[in-house]
Structure 1
Amino acid sequence: MAAAVKAKMIVDKSFRIAEVDKRIYGSFVEHLGRAVYGGIYEPSHSSSDEGGFRNDVKELVRQLDVPIIRYPGGNFVSGYNWEDGVGPVASRPRQLELAWRTVEPNEVGTNEFFKWAKDVGSEVMMAINLGTRGIDAARNLVEYCNHPGGSYWSDLRRSHGIEQPHKIKTWCLGNEMDGPWQIGHKTAEEYGRLAVESAKAMKLIDPDIELVSCGSSSSTMPTFPEWEATTLDHTYEVADYISLHQYYGNHDNDTPNYLARSMDMDHFIQTVISTCDYIKAKKRSKKKMMLSFDEWNVWYHSNDADKKIDPWSVAPPQLEDIYNFEDALLVGSMLITFLRHADRVKMACLAQLVNVIAPIMTENNGRAWKQTIFYPYLHASRYGRGISLMPVVDSEKYDSKDFTDIPYLDSAVVYDEEGDALTIFAVNRHLSESLELTVDVRSFEGYRIVEHTVLEHDDLKATNSPAGEKVAPHNGGNAKLEDGIVKSHLGKASWNVIRLAKSH
Structure 2
Amino acid sequence: MRKATVLMDRDFAIGQTDPRLFGAFVEHLGRCVYGGIYEPGHATADEKGFRRDVLDLVRELGPTIMRYPGGNFVSGYNWEDGVGPVDQRPTRLDLAWFTTEPNTFGTNEFMDWCKAAEVEPMMAVNLGTRGGDAARNLVEYCNHPGGTYWSDLRKQHGWEQPHAVKFWCLGNEMDGPWQMEYKTATQYGMVAKEAAKMMRWIDPTIELAACGSSARNMPTYGRWEDEVLEHTFDHAEFISLHTYLNNYKEDTASFLASPDLMDNFIDEVVAIADGVAARRRSTKRMILSFDEWNVWYRTRRKRQDRVKEGWPIAPPILEEIYTMEDALAFGGACISLLNHADRVKSACLAQLVNVIAPIMTETGGPAWRQTIFHPFAQMSKFGRGKVLRAQVESDSYDSEYYDPRGSQEVSYPVTNVAYLKLSAVADENGGLSLFLLNRDIAQDMEVSIDVRGFGRLAVGEALELRHDDLSAINDKNAPDRVAPTALSGVVVDGGRIRATLKPASWNVIHLTSN
User: After TM superposition, is the score higher than 0.5?
Assistant: yes
**Residue 464 (structure 1) aligned to one of 474, 478, 484:** 474
Measured after TM superposition, the shift of residue 94 of structure 1 is: 0.4
CA contact (8 A) 2:350 2:356 kept: yes
Range moving further from structure 2, 255-264 or 441-450? 441-450
Cα distance between partner residues in 1 of 2:42 and 2:195: 40
1:16-72 deviation digits (Å, cap 9, x = unpaired): 111100211100000000000000001021000001110000000011121100000
Larger proportion of strand: 2
Secondary structure at the counterpart of residue 459 of structure 2: strand
2:318 corresponds to: 319
* 1:447-486 equivalent positions in 2, closer than 5 A: 447-468=457-478, 469-486=480-497
1:334 corresponds to: 333
Cα distance between partner residues in 1 of 2:306 and 2:270: 37
1:416 corresponds to: 427
Cα distance between partner residues in 2 of 1:71 and 1:257: 32
Give the % identical residues: 55
CA contact (8 A) 1:439 1:486 kept: yes
CA contact (8 A) 2:6 2:390 kept: yes
Q: Relative to structure 1, is the Cα distance of residues 307 and 72 closer, same or farther in structure 2, using a 3 angstrom cutoff?
A: closer
Measured after TM superposition, the shift of residue 214 of structure 1 is: 0.5
**Residue 445 (structure 1) aligned to one of 441, 455, 458:** 455
Secondary structure at the counterpart of residue 461 of structure 2: strand
1:490 corresponds to: 501
Cα distance between partner residues in 2 of 1:478 and 1:335: 24
Cα distance between partner residues in 1 of 2:277 and 2:329: 33
Q: List structure 1 segments (4+ residues) > 6 angstroms apart after TM superposition.
A: none
Cα distance between partner residues in 1 of 2:458 and 2:330: 28
**Residue 99 (structure 1) aligned to one of 87, 96, 100:** 96
Cα distance between partner residues in 1 of 2:145 and 2:343: 33
Asked whether 1:280 is paired with 2:290, we answer no
Secondary structure at the counterpart of residue 6 of structure 1: strand
CA contact (8 A) 2:100 2:312 kept: yes
Paired letter, 1:387: K
**Residue 224 (structure 2) aligned to one of 227, 234, 242:** 227
Secondary structure at the counterpart of residue 215 of structure 2: coil
Q: Relative to structure 1, is the Cα distance of residues 440 and 461 closer, same or farther in structure 2, using a 3 angstrom cutoff?
A: same
2:266 corresponds to: 269
1:501 corresponds to: 512
Secondary structure at the counterpart of residue 59 of structure 2: helix
CA contact (8 A) 2:8 2:389 kept: yes
Cα distance between partner residues in 2 of 1:324 and 1:275: 35
CA contact (8 A) 2:383 2:433 kept: yes
Cα RMSD, aligned residues only:
0.9
Cα distance between partner residues in 2 of 1:338 and 1:389: 13
Paired letter, 1:27: A
Measured after TM superposition, the shift of residue 392 of structure 1 is: 1.1
CA contact (8 A) 1:246 1:297 kept: yes
Cα distance between partner residues in 1 of 2:310 and 2:189: 33
Measured after TM superposition, the shift of residue 448 of structure 1 is: 0.9
CA contact (8 A) 2:75 2:129 kept: yes
2:120 corresponds to: 123
Measured after TM superposition, the shift of residue 451 of structure 1 is: 2.0
Secondary structure at the counterpart of residue 486 of structure 2: coil
Measured after TM superposition, the shift of residue 483 of structure 1 is: 2.8
Paired letter, 1:21: D
Secondary structure at the counterpart of residue 435 of structure 2: strand
Measured after TM superposition, the shift of residue 438 of structure 1 is: 0.3
Cα distance between partner residues in 1 of 2:15 and 2:365: 43
CA contact (8 A) 2:288 2:345 kept: yes
Asked whether 1:257 is paired with 2:268, we answer no
Measured after TM superposition, the shift of residue 10 of structure 1 is: 1.0
Q: Relative to structure 1, is the Cα distance of residues 193 and 307 closer, same or farther in structure 2, using a 3 angstrom cutoff?
A: closer
- Structure 2: state its 5+ residue gaps: 401-412
Asked whether 1:407 is paired with 2:404, we answer no
Cα distance between partner residues in 1 of 2:488 and 2:356: 29
Paired letter, 1:481: V
* 1:304-315 equivalent positions in 2, closer than 5 A: 304=302, 305-306=304-305, 309-315=308-314
Q: Relative to structure 1, is the Cα distance of residues 302 and 154 closer, same or farther in structure 2, using a 3 angstrom cutoff?
A: same
Cα distance between partner residues in 2 of 1:410 and 1:286: 32
Range moving further from structure 2, 451-460 or 27-36? 451-460
Measured after TM superposition, the shift of residue 398 of structure 1 is: 1.2
Secondary structure at the counterpart of residue 172 of structure 1: strand
Cα distance between partner residues in 2 of 1:122 and 1:388: 23
Cα distance between partner residues in 2 of 1:484 and 1:175: 47
Asked whether 1:208 is paired with 2:218, we answer no
Measured after TM superposition, the shift of residue 138 of structure 1 is: 0.4
Cα distance between partner residues in 1 of 2:275 and 2:137: 34
Measured after TM superposition, the shift of residue 249 of structure 1 is: 1.1
TM-score for the superposition, normalised by structure 1: 0.98
Measured after TM superposition, the shift of residue 307 of structure 1 is: 5.2
Measured after TM superposition, the shift of residue 271 of structure 1 is: 0.6
Secondary structure at the counterpart of residue 302 of structure 1: helix
Secondary structure at the counterpart of residue 106 of structure 1: coil
Number of residue equivalences = 499
CA contact (8 A) 1:442 1:483 kept: no
CA contact (8 A) 1:427 1:493 kept: yes
Secondary structure at the counterpart of residue 212 of structure 1: strand
Asked whether 1:146 is paired with 2:143, we answer yes
Range moving further from structure 2, 13-22 or 164-173? 13-22
Secondary structure at the counterpart of residue 498 of structure 2: strand
